[in-house]
Amino acid sequence: MHSPVEQFTIKALYALSLFGYDISFTNSSLFMVFAVLLSSGFLFFAMRPASIIPGRLQCLAEMMYEFVANILDSNVGKEGKPYFPFVFTLFLFILFSNLLGLIPYSYTVTSQIIVTFAMAFTIFIGVTLIGLFKHGLHFFSFFVPPGASKPLIPLLVLIEVISYLIRPVSLSVRLFANMLAGHTMLKVFAGLAVMMSGAGGIMVAGSAFPLIAIIGLTGLELLVALLQAYVFTILTCMYLNDALHLH
Amino acid sequence: MVKRIWIYSGIISLSLITKGALAAGDSSGGLPQLDITTWPSQLFWLVVTFVIGYILISSLVAPSISSVLENRSTKISDDLETAKKAQDNAKEVYTSYEESLSEARSQAAIAAAKALEEAKTETASRDAAINKKLAASAKKAEARLSEMRDEALSSLEDLATETSQKIIAELTPVKVTKAVVKKHVAAHAKLQS
């Protein structure tokens, strides 16, 4: 019997190394490639007709585009436009990784803390750099809440700095933990079904219950996959807004 | 500028993560996610695939979608503008039609009033002419009538004179001249009338 976290094991498909680091092409890498190629390929071919009155696929592609464009526009405004390709790529990468991970025997890229943390940390560094470039040293006034009473300012600045520094952690752990928990739960129920059916007797009939639970949980995981991609995107936009507009 | 920010922040974050991971050392045992020997490969392929995705989307996908959306919005606004123009045009035509209609109405009213006036004057003049004619002929007839009456009266006097002379001659021996009788008859007739 496999452990429920067995599914997260990285398996090298093609061994590679660079400067002494092991950069083998793994099952995780394969699904990263799938996510990127599927997302951009889908959008590219769905937009092929490029007609004024869209067909079904074109409509879907436009909806995805406008969804992200609206998130960016409502959170950041006009100044957010140059960052659209990055935010859109991020959304598509996470969305397709999450959705591909729901297919049995596939691999969930976003269930790896290092992947989500690398993305979240890059966003964190990126928005900090944007804030520093845009506002210079004035950027640090972001840590002083407006309208705070003077004696409280040191404490509030401390809290603000901690909450700012914790952002990449919370952003990455949110996505990672959701994926990890959901997929582990699915595997636990699947393992239960296998165990019950192996036990024989009345347990074989009873194994239908965990199977039914898996069907429901798969629907829930589909929701989580979509929702977490949305949450990651909207938080990125909010951080971007903080960097561009401070308060 | 924007691309460069993401490149710099990617490099900074990756180097910090690598440094942190090296400092923390291998703590694998539980979750496969915490096995740091798999991290370099994951980070490397994450960067490779994400950069490829970014290039594909920023240079190929996003422009095609935004151009389609822009085309659509310009088409819609153009169509709306055309429709507005057509509406304005229709309004203009309608107002000019109304104007010409009211003008025609007022002209018709003027013409009708004029015609009525003309007809009135014409009838009046005709009336007057007919009245004149009638009056003239009535006068003539009256004149003739009085003439005839005078004639009749004078012939009546003559008759009366002759008859009176004859009666006097038959009944009395008095010889009376015609002139005397006539004088008496005339006086009598004058008394009578």
Say yes or no to pLDDT of B37 above 80. no
| Among A2, A6, A10, A178, the residue to mutate for chain B (most B Cβ within 10 A) | A10
Distances (CA, A) of A67 to A116, A151, A187: 22, 44, 32
C-beta atoms of A36 and B56 within 8 A: yes
Q: How far apart are CA A211 and CA A208, in angstroms?
A: 5
In a domain, B161, yes or no: yes
How many interface pairs between A and B have CB atoms less than 8 angstroms apart?
Answer: 167
Any A CB within 8 A of B55 CB: no
Structural domain harbouring A45: 6-245
Give the one of B44, B49, B65 whose C-beta lies nearest to A33's C-beta.
B49
Distances (CA, A) of B55 to A36, A45, B62, B94: 11, 16, 10, 57
Task: Confirm if A97 and B46 have CB atoms less than 8 A apart.
Answer: no
C-beta atoms of A10 and B64 within 8 A: no
Task: Confirm if A189 and A214 have CB atoms less than 8 A apart.
Answer: yes
In a domain, A132, yes or no: yes
In a domain, B107, yes or no: no
In a domain, B173, yes or no: yes
Task: Confirm if A83 and A123 have CB atoms less than 8 A apart.
Answer: no
From first to last of its 247 residues, chain A has per-residue pLDDT tens of 567 777 777 777 777 778 877 778 888 889 999 999 999 888 888 888 877 778 788 888 888 998 998 998 898 888 888 888 889 999 999 999 999 988 888 888 898 888 899 999 999 998 888 888 888 887 787 787 777 778 888 888 888 889 889 999 999 999 999 988 888 888 888 888 888 888 777 777 778 888 888 899 999 999 999 999 999 999 999 998 888 887 6
Say yes or no to pLDDT of B90 above 80. yes
Any B CB within 8 A of A123 CB: yes
Burial class of B192 by CB neighbour count within 10 A (0 to 12, 13 to 18, 19+): exposed
Distances (CA, A) of B35 to A41, A135, B38: 33, 40, 6
Q: Which two tokens stand for residue A245?
A: 């507009």
Angle, helices A27-46 vs A84-101, to 10°: value is 120
DSSP string, B20-67: HHHHH----SS-GGG-GGGHHHHHHHHHHHHHHHHHHIIIIIHHHHHH
Any B CB within 8 A of A199 CB: no
C-beta atoms of A83 and B2 within 8 A: yes
pLDDT score recorded for residue A228: 92
Residue pointed to by tokens 């092991």: A22
Per-residue pLDDT reduced to its tens digit, A111-151: 888 889 999 999 999 888 888 888 888 778 778 777 777 88
User: How far does B59 lie from chain A, in Å, by closest CA?
Assistant: 9
C-beta atoms of B42 and A86 within 8 A: no
Task: Confirm if A89 and A112 have CB atoms less than 8 A apart.
Answer: no
Task: Please give the tally of structural domains in chain B.
Answer: 1
Any A CB within 8 A of B22 CB: no
Its ipTM equals 0.87
Task: Please give the tally of structural domains in chain A.
Answer: 1
pLDDT score recorded for residue A97: 92
Percent above pLDDT 90 for chain B? 40
Q: How far apart are CA B185 and CA B193, in angstroms?
A: 12
Which helix (H) or strand (E) is A18 found in, with range? strand A17-18
Structural domain harbouring B164: 142-192
Scanning B73-132 for CB atoms below 8 A from A yields 75
pLDDT score recorded for residue B27: 58
In a domain, B86, yes or no: no
In a domain, B179, yes or no: yes
Per-residue pLDDT reduced to its tens digit, A140-175: 877 877 777 788 888 888 888 898 899 999 999 999
Q: Which phi and psi angles does A200 have, rounded to 5°? A: 80, 175
In a domain, B67, yes or no: no
Scanning A154-193 for CB atoms below 8 A from B yields 176, 180
Q: Which phi and psi angles does A26 have, rounded to 5°? A: -115, 180
Task: Confirm if B41 and A22 have CB atoms less than 8 A apart.
Answer: yes
In a domain, A145, yes or no: yes
Give the one of A8, A40, A126 whose C-beta lies nearest to B53's C-beta.
A40
Give the one of A5, A18, A21 whose C-beta lies nearest to B31's C-beta.
A5
Q: Which of A84, A237, A130, A164 is nearest to B5 (CA)?
A: A130
In a domain, A1, yes or no: no
